């Protein structure tokens, strides 16, 4: 465990999230898995993994049925070999737990499954043939890698942008993967020692709870305006939600709570009364799988956003999000921009979901055991778009 295990990632398959290639079973069936710090399950589709030819397969009595903000899947839990990487970066464990899932094809796009990088509290299963069976919490794959001594209790992500970069003629996942703007890096067990992946110092964000990577978002600043205070969770929600913000690489968006989102739109309107309508139009276009033409979004007039998150020392870690990261160009289609500012989600009441626009252009270290507590997430500028 002397150094981190560096693995290539790409936006080419999921298109709104990064995937890493994993090998399942005795035959090493390759699957491209979404890297999701907002969940904990390991799941693969039959398109990529064929259990009928897996000589290492062990069946379990469990099934999983998992819902997300934008999709759902279900399937039986299996146990088998799981491998990552090539050459000196190749690692494997023989007893990984994962679900063989059925889901809506649109949910994963061209990806083959998910690798949830959060904690056990988000990895529930129940017995398939037992009515009203109590839940069992499985050991997530990253936790299993750490417990078996394969990696240290941390990982890092180098992220270039939040949504796949579209080039003329790049119509297949393989062609999209060849675009350097769609590449990233996952470092299992690594962090600040990977100096070729980042530059400058780190800003550390305190993790308040290990359900998700729960953080405390204190304020949002729009351009050079005065900071907008972000409400704390209501006391009735503390026991279940734990904090007012989640650090979620499985989300393509910046989603704010109701009050903060309304204040953000108001601040944009003070700059240009047309801006809130452009956001709304972009959201409607995205629901139909499209964006707005480049000519309609002049980034010179859109402000950067600044987030103030609680640091381990009690001060503020201030992270800037350039307009180009929440209005990425050539997104999904050439000549189109997507707005990645999201409206509040009803089942995350009072919470902000800080997705890939926060990570874009950064190297983020999820140091889960730092300081003897729940850990920190450390942000530095990415040295390259990975």
3-state secondary structure 254-286: EECCHHHHHHHHHHHHHHCCCHHHHHHHHHHHH
Rounded Cα distance between 197 and 39, Å, is: 25
Task: Answer yes or no: are the C-beta atoms of 224 and 270 closer than 8 Å.
Answer: no
What does R_g of the chain's alpha carbons equal in angstroms?
A: 20
Looking at CATH, the fold of the domain delimited by 194-382 is given as: Cathepsin D, subunit A; domain 1 (2.40.70)
DSSP code of 182? Answer: G
Q: What is the pLDDT of residue 386?
A: 41
Rounded Cα distance between 128 and 280, Å, is: 43
Domains of the chain by residue range = 5-151, 194-382
For the record, the structure tokens of 297 come out as 């979004």
Q: What is the pLDDT of residue 69?
A: 64
Rounded Cα distance between 111 and 117, Å, is: 17
10 Å CB burial of residue 293 (0-12, 13-18, 19+) is exposed
The b-or-e profile of 16-35 (16+ CB within 10 A means b, else e) is bbbbbbbbbbeeebebbbbb
Q: What is the pLDDT of residue 219?
A: 98
Phi then psi for residue 266, to 5 deg, are: -65, -40
Q: What is the pLDDT of residue 132?
A: 65
Q: What is the pLDDT of residue 370?
A: 84
Q: What is the pLDDT of residue 1?
A: 47
Task: Report yes or no on whether pTM surpasses 0.85.
Answer: yes
Rounded Cα distance between 280 and 341, Å, is: 10
Residues with pLDDT less than 50, the chain: 1, 385-386
Rounded Cα distance between 87 and 8, Å, is: 13
CATH superfamily of 5-151: Acid Proteases (2.40.70.10)
Q: What is the pLDDT of residue 381?
A: 98
Task: Answer yes or no: are the C-beta atoms of 29 and 49 closer than 8 Å.
Answer: yes
CB-CB neighbours of 36 under 10 Å:
23
Same fold, 5-151 and 194-382: yes
């Amino acid at each position: 465990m002397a150094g981190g295990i560096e693995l290539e990632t790409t936006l080419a398959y999921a298109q709104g999230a990064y995937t890493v290639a994993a090998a399942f079973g005795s035959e090493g069936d390759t699957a491209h898995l979404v890297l999701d710090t907002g969940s904990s399950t390991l799941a693969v589709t039959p398109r990529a993994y064929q259990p009928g030819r897996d000589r290492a397969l062990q069946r379990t009595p469990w099934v999983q049925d998992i819902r997300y903000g934008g999709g759902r899947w279900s399937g039986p839990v299996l146990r088998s070999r799981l491998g990552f990487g090539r050459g000196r970066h190749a690692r494997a464990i023989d007893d990984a737990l994962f679900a063989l899932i059925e889901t809506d094809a649109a949910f994963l796009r061209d990806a083959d499954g998910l690798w949830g990088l959060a904690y056990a509290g988000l990895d529930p299963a129940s017995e398939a043939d037992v009515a009203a069976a109590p839940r069992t919490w499985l050991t997530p794959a990253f936790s299993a890698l750490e417990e078996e001594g394969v990696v240290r209790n941390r990982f890092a992500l180098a992220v270039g942008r939040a949504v796949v970069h579209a080039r003329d003629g790049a119509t297949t996942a393989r062609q999209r993967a060849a675009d350097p703007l769609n590449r990233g890096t996952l470092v299992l067990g690594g962090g600040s020692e990977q100096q070729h992946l980042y530059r400058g110092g780190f800003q550390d964000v305190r993790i308040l709870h290990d359900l998700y990577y729960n953080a405390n978002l204190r304020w949002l600043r729009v351009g050079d305006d005065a900071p907008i205070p972000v409400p704390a969770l209501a006391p009735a929600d503390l026991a279940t939600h734990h904090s007012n913000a989640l650090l979620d690489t499985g989300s393509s968006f910046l989603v704010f709570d109701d009050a903060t989102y309304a204040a953000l739109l108001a601040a944009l309107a003070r700059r240009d009364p047309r801006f809130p309508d452009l956001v709304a139009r972009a959201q409607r276009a995205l629901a139909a799988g499209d964006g707005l033409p480049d000519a309609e979004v002049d980034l010179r007039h859109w402000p950067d956003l600044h987030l103030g998150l609680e640091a381990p020392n009690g001060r503020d870690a201030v992270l800037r999000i350039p307009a180009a990261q929440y209005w990425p160009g050539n997104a999904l289609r050439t000549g189109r921009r997507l707005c990645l500012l999201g409206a509040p989600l009803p089942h995350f009441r009072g919470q902000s979901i800080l997705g890939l626009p926060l990570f874009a252009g950064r190297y983020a270290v999820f140091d889960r055991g730092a300081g003897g507590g729940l850990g920190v997430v450390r942000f530095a500028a990415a040295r390259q778009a990975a």
